[in-house]
Amino acid sequence: MREIQMVDLKAQYEKLRTEIDAAIKSVLTSTAFIKGPEVKFFEEELQKYLNAGHVISCANGTDALQIAMMALGLNPGDEVITTNFTFVSTVEVVALLGLKLVLVDPDPCNYNISIEGIRKAISPRTKAIVPVHLFGQCADMESIMTLAKKHGLFVIEDAAQATGTDYFFSDGTSKKAGTIGDIGTTSFFPSKNLACYGDGGAMFTNDDLLAKKLKSIANHGQKVKYHHDYIGVNSRLDTIQAAILSVKLKHLSQFNSARRSVADFYDKAFAGCSPVILPERVSYSSHIFHQYTIRVKDGKRDALKSFLESKGIPTIIYYPGPLHFQEAYRFLGYREDDFPVTTALCKEVLSLPMHPDMEQDQLDYIVLNVLRFFKKQ
């Protein structure tokens, strides 16, 4: 059996080697390392795939969030509502820009920001909501957009874990994650569903003026070289990474459906195992399983993790500590017990190996050992 990995970057590279090597070589030969034609080509391909108005690439997913907030003209003191159960990027950027962070608990079953929580958190100073489409499944965007419209708020979707996820509206139409709010952002970090071989990110918008502003801010605030209209940043996607991403994008749908098959297998295998709570699949979103994250009841999560580790099965805890517990964010002044759902999830969640190249013998072995652990208890 091949060694089990959380994400098998080697297996994926081996599969696409000829195409990837040719793409990289062509950039090396052209030496157009910054803003080469491959960058524009990739942006156009991704724009078509997502059916987005505009795609603007940048250096990483954290920058994408920062540039989005800068482009929307958020000012120090403006309140931004986001989930407490996510990667640190959103809260980091909000803090860096001097905005006021307002955290909200997630839904305990699908892990995405609670709509009731958002409703309670909205104040006269609220300017934006940042839903994160966690683990590959969309937050309840229809409810979020309704709330945003009612209160005149911007919506920035963090789609770093959901490139390719479909959101289904109640009228039967659908849109890709990240193309519903004012701006969507994503990351091409090597472990993401659509990933490059280093750092990369992008922003999506359907607003022509906003697109120009995002593009300009990402490039030192200039539209014309050496003319600076905005205070900007230096955040570009390297040409080599863009060339790699265009190759990978062609396979994204197939890779995402391979992940779904792995999830289907896990779901079936653990269905009768009562200490394991399966990740909920909501009706309004497809799921591309960036992570397959179970909850382990009865305080057995850490023991299961160690047991699997001893059998050569890696697992990861996304996320081990609520953001409001982190040293850097103590200044927000939250009390330890302000977010009971996040705190409980941090003690129960466990993400199992999940990637498009998992083999049946690996899946059988993982399932066998999870079930064996609970039989012994």
Ligand X SMILES: *Cc1c(COP(=O)(O)O)cnc(C)c1O
In angstroms, rounded to a whole number, what is the distance separating the alpha carbons of residues 17 and 134? Answer: 30
Choice between 85 and 270, CB closer to ligand X: 85
Q: List residues near ligand X by CB under 6 A.
A: 60-62, 86-87, 89, 132, 158, 160-161, 187, 189, 199, 201
Choice between 161 and 362, CB closer to ligand X: 161
For the bound state, the minimum distance from the C-beta of residue 241 to ligand X, rounded and expressed in Å, comes to: 11
Q: Are 49 and 249 in contact (CB under 8 A)?
A: yes
In angstroms, rounded to a whole number, what is the distance separating the alpha carbons of residues 52 and 336? Answer: 40
* Tokens 């017990």, residue located: 337
Give strand pairing partners of 132.
Answer: 158
Choice between 61 and 279, CB closer to ligand X: 61
Choice between 161 and 351, CB closer to ligand X: 161
Residues 6+ apart with CB under 8 A from 335: none
Q: Are 112 and 139 in contact (CB under 8 A)?
A: yes
* Tokens 């850097």, residue located: 328
Choice between 82 and 239, CB closer to ligand X: 82
Choice between 194 and 350, CB closer to ligand X: 194
Structure token digits, residue 100: 């006021």
**Using CB atoms, what's the residue nearest to ligand X?**
61
Positive/negative CA dihedral, 134, 140, 146, 150: negative
Q: Are 52 and 176 in contact (CB under 8 A)?
A: yes
For the bound state, the minimum distance from the C-beta of residue 328 to ligand X, rounded and expressed in Å, comes to: 16
In angstroms, rounded to a whole number, what is the distance separating the alpha carbons of residues 147 and 150? Answer: 5
Choice between 201 and 353, CB closer to ligand X: 201
| CB atoms near residue 366 (< 10 Å) | 23
For the bound state, the minimum distance from the C-beta of residue 374 to ligand X, rounded and expressed in Å, comes to: 30
Cβ-count burial of 58 within 10 angstroms (0-12 exposed, 13-18 middle, 19+ buried)?
Answer: buried
Choice between 189 and 307, CB closer to ligand X: 189
Choice between 12 and 163, CB closer to ligand X: 163
For the bound state, the minimum distance from the C-beta of residue 62 to ligand X, rounded and expressed in Å, comes to: 3
For the bound state, the minimum distance from the C-beta of residue 60 to ligand X, rounded and expressed in Å, comes to: 4
Structure token digits, residue 64: 């994408």
For the bound state, the minimum distance from the C-beta of residue 90 to ligand X, rounded and expressed in Å, comes to: 6
For the bound state, the minimum distance from the C-beta of residue 44 to ligand X, rounded and expressed in Å, comes to: 21
For the bound state, the minimum distance from the C-beta of residue 99 to ligand X, rounded and expressed in Å, comes to: 16
For the bound state, the minimum distance from the C-beta of residue 7 to ligand X, rounded and expressed in Å, comes to: 12
For the bound state, the minimum distance from the C-beta of residue 194 to ligand X, rounded and expressed in Å, comes to: 12
Choice between 192 and 363, CB closer to ligand X: 192
* Tokens 């307002």, residue located: 102
Query: In 70-215, which ranges are E strands?
Result: 79-83, 100-104, 126-130, 154-158, 166-168, 174-176, 183-187, 201-205
Give a three-class secondary structure readout of 297-358. CCCCHHHHHHHHHHCCCCCECCCCCCHHHCHHHHHHCCCHHHCHHHHHHHHHEEEECCCCCC
> What is the distance, to the nearest Å, from the Cα of residue 203 to the centroid of all Cα atoms in its chain?
13
